[in-house]
């Protein structure tokens, strides 16, 4: 009973539903099981231009197959997908047989008992089959396939980094480290990985983790593997938002570099087992800077094609558009993918007055689109 209660807690706090996006439902048969995954194709997808892929892995919880697509976290990726040109894949874990809870075969569990949910399920092979199916149907840059996940999905992301790293370009785990029951920890190459974790996580502890490595031990493992400096080479304090309370959260952002691949840590202070509002944007910023073939459409903060300033902005936001083409539609989205502003721009320079607008402080995505061109950028309004 004790292990059931511990495992049940891993994700139940984040079964938050959203109706912001529509996903295509795909089914495939793998290893004798009927598996389901969801796909969001970006609005800017063009079969003549290879797109990236981001896989998002849900946490463990009592949730139906149908409701996985309604979770808030993957839906927060949708507006980013639509401007950055990546397909968003949301696979569904199998029922573990424990109180109807779905779980990945991440090998997270109680080490002394040697028990992990769904240890007989071939989830790594399932994700390979899913990718093969998508690559056969869409034009994909296979050098830019990324994976991220929350809680048990974070543990599964770490297992993929250890055992299937020839297929993925970079990884981002949130509130899930390396599982206790992973015995062989030899990735065989440097791994590009970002990790996000609340210091007050009561489910997957930051300093005392019942299901796997502590955060410090995990960072030490990956920095050793990547031969980076053991002391962080960059540190900044950034502000994020708790989606439950709406309160501002102080996050310590660390980068461990000077090795074969960087390891990044977002230490989210005094936060429990939650996915913060800005995680999606920070994860894509990390993924898009991976050194490999660059996708056709830029990503967040891509300032090469147009200028937007100041950023952060307070009273006014100025936008300059280069070249001869000066008729654009301008859309402004919040981090939930809601359209907050839409207008037609017919000049090479225009200004948005923020002191008289209904926009609240936060992170937004600006998308400028003409007949042949798409520019995107992330902005912060204070």
- pLDDT of residue 16 exceeding 50: no
Alpha helices (runs of H) in 263-364, residue ranges in sequence order = 279-288
Q: How many CB atoms lie within 10 A of CB 202?
A: 11
> Which backbone phi and psi does 134 adopt, to 5 degrees?
-70, -40
- Select the highest-mean-pLDDT range: 44-48, 136-140, 214-218: 214-218
pLDDT reported for residue 340: 82
Q: How many CB atoms lie within 10 A of CB 239?
A: 11
Tokens standing for residue 192: 């590009």
- pLDDT of residue 236 exceeding 90: yes
> What mean pLDDT, rounded, does the chain reach?
85
Q: What is the pLDDT of residues 74-116, one digit of tens each?
A: 999 998 998 899 999 999 999 988 767 999 999 998 765 567 8
What mean pLDDT do residues 43-59 have? 94
Please say whether the dihedral angle defined by the alpha carbons of residues 191, 287, 63 and 15, taken in this order, is positive or negative. Answer: positive
pLDDT reported for residue 325: 54
Bigger pLDDT: 13 or 260?
Answer: 260
Q: What is the pLDDT of residues 325-359, one digit of tens each?
A: 556 777 787 755 677 887 877 777 788 888 888 88
Domains of the chain: 2-288 (3.40.50.1820), 307-381 (2.60.40.3080)
At 15, the pLDDT band (50, 70, 90 cuts) reads very low
Least confident of 125-129, 285-289, 308-312: 308-312
Site of tokens 């292990």: 3
Burial of 80 (0-12, 13-18, 19+ CB in 10 A): buried
How many Å apart are CA 34 and CA 28, to the nearest integer? Answer: 6
Site of tokens 């059931």: 4
pLDDT over 70 percentage in the chain = 84
- Tell me the C-alpha to C-alpha distance, in Å, between residue 131 and each of 25, 28, 258, 320, 352: 14, 11, 32, 39, 42
At 361, the pLDDT band (50, 70, 90 cuts) reads confident
CB 87 within 8 A of CB 51: yes
How many Å apart are CA 273 and CA 151, to the nearest integer? Answer: 8
> Which backbone phi and psi does 130 adopt, to 5 degrees?
-60, -45
Closest by CA position to 254, among listed 279, 229, 271:
229
What mean pLDDT do residues 259-287 have? 95
Q: Is 140 helix (H, G, I), strand (E, B) or coil?
A: strand
Bigger pLDDT: 16 or 249?
Answer: 249
Site of tokens 């960072």: 219
């Amino acid at each position: 009973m004790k292990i059931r209660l511990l495992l049940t807690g891993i994700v139940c706090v984040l079964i938050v539903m959203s109706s912001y996006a529509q996903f295509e439902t795909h089914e495939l048969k793998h290893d004798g099981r009927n598996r389901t995954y969801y796909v969001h194709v970006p609005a800017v997808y063009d079969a003549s231009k290879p797109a990236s892929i981001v896989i998002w892995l849900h946490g463990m919880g009592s949730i139906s197959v149908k409701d996985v697509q309604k979770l808030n976290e993957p839906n927060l990726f949708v507006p980013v997908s639509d401007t950055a040109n990546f397909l968003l894949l949301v696979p569904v874990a199998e029922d573990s047989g424990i109180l109807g809870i779905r779980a990945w075969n991440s090998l997270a569990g109680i080490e002394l008992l040697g028990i992990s949910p769904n240890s007989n399920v071939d989830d790594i092979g399932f994700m390979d089959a899913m990718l093969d199916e998508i690559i056969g149907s869409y034009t994909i840059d296979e050098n830019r396939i990324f994976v991220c996940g929350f809680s048990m999905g974070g543990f599964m992301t770490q297992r993929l980094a250890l055992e299937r790293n020839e297929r993925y370009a970079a990884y981002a785990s949130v509130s899930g480290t390396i599982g206790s029951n992973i015995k062989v920890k030899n990735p065989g190459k440097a791994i590009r990985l970002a990790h996000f974790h609340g210091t007050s996580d009561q489910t997957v502890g930051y300093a005392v983790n019942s299901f796997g490595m502590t955060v410090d031990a995990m960072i030490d493992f990956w920095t050793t593997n990547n031969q980076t400096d053991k002391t962080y080479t960059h540190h900044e304090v950034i502000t994020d938002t708790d989606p439950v309370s709406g309160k501002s959260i102080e996050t310590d952002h660390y980068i461990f570099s000077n090795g074969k691949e960087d390891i990044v840590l977002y230490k989210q202070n005094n936060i429990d087992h939650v996915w913060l509002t800005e995680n999606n944007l920070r994860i894509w910023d990390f993924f898009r800077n991976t050194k490999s073939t660059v996708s056709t459409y830029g990503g967040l903060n891509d300032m090469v094609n147009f200028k937007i300033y100041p950023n952060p902005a307070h009273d006014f936001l100025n936008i300059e558009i280069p070249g001869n083409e000066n008729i654009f539609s301008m859309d402004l989205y919040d981090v939930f993918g809601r359209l907050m502003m839409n207008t037609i721009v017919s000049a090479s320079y225009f200004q948005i007055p923020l002191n008289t607008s209904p926009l609240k402080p936060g992170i937004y995505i600006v998308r400028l689109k003409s007949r042949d061109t798409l520019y995107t950028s992330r902005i912060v309004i204070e």
